[in-house]
Amino acid sequence: MEEVIKNLKVMYTEEQIQERIKELAKEIDNDYIGKELIIISVLKGAIFFTVDLVKRINIPMSIEMMQVSSYQGTQSTGNVILKRGLDIDISGKDVLIVEDIIDTGYTLQYLKEYLQTLNPNSLKIAVLADKKERRKIDVKIDYTGFEIENKFIVGYGFDIDQKYRNLPYIGYIEE
Ligand code: 5GP
């Protein structure tokens, strides 16, 4: 672990992250004028992004959590498992999924398909980071914080085996 952290470089500083989140919140406020939003935060990685984003959103909204698991070590797999579902009814509601990152797309495709079966009025997706070049399935993303290169990122919610999520910036591991 010590070795990994030694090779960690800053990709986005705390300030850069907050600035971008402010812009995203403004966009969301504009798109949902006169509406009420249910934000579904995908545990655990998206907690940090969700908290900072919702603090900047002014329209009426509530927060729910879901948890899926699809990732072992540093490789995505197509196997997505629902670990924690919703305990509210979202039918007829405007729903925004807030996720930390889209990589292959398997996780968000699974979540989107699952939530669509619950008949929301609308369903959109916000991600903090997008590794576009890694995509295996085409999933429409409505709000993107940063388009990033194919680097493994750590901090601000992004973990290595559950650790380092608490770093205040987004770092990447230099190979
Ligand atoms: P996907 O299903 O789109 O391939 O992967 C989504 C999940 O992979 C994310 O929720 C995240 O947990 C994990 N992931 C993908 N890229 C990274 C990365 O660079 N760093 C970390 N820590 N997790 C990642």
CATH of residue 92's domain is: 3.40.50.2020
Which atom of ligand 1 is the closest one to the Cα of 107? 2
Question: Which position has the higher pLDDT, 7 or 57?
Answer: 57
Domain-located, residue 131: yes
Distance CA 167, CA 24 (A): 22
Q: Is residue 53 part of a domain?
A: yes
User: Domain for residue 73, yes or no?
Assistant: yes
**Helix, strand, coil shares, percent, the chain, to 5:** 25, 40, 35
- CA dist., res. 135 & res. 65, Å (int): 25
Catalytic residue among 31, 103, 130, 142: 103
Number of structural domains in the chain: 1
Is residue 173 included in any domain, yes or no? Answer: no
Q: What is the pLDDT of residue 45?
A: 95
Residue 142 is part of which domain span? 14-151
Instruction: Assess whether 29 carries a catalytic annotation.
Output: no
In a domain, 164, yes or no: no
pLDDT at 71: 56
Where residue 31 falls among pLDDT bands split at 50, 70, 90?
very high
Band (pLDDT 50/70/90 cuts) for residue 43 is very high
Instruction: Determine if the pTM surpasses 0.85.
Output: yes
- C-beta 114 within 6 A of ligand 1: no
Residue 117 lies in a domain: yes
**Domain membership flag for residue 130:** yes
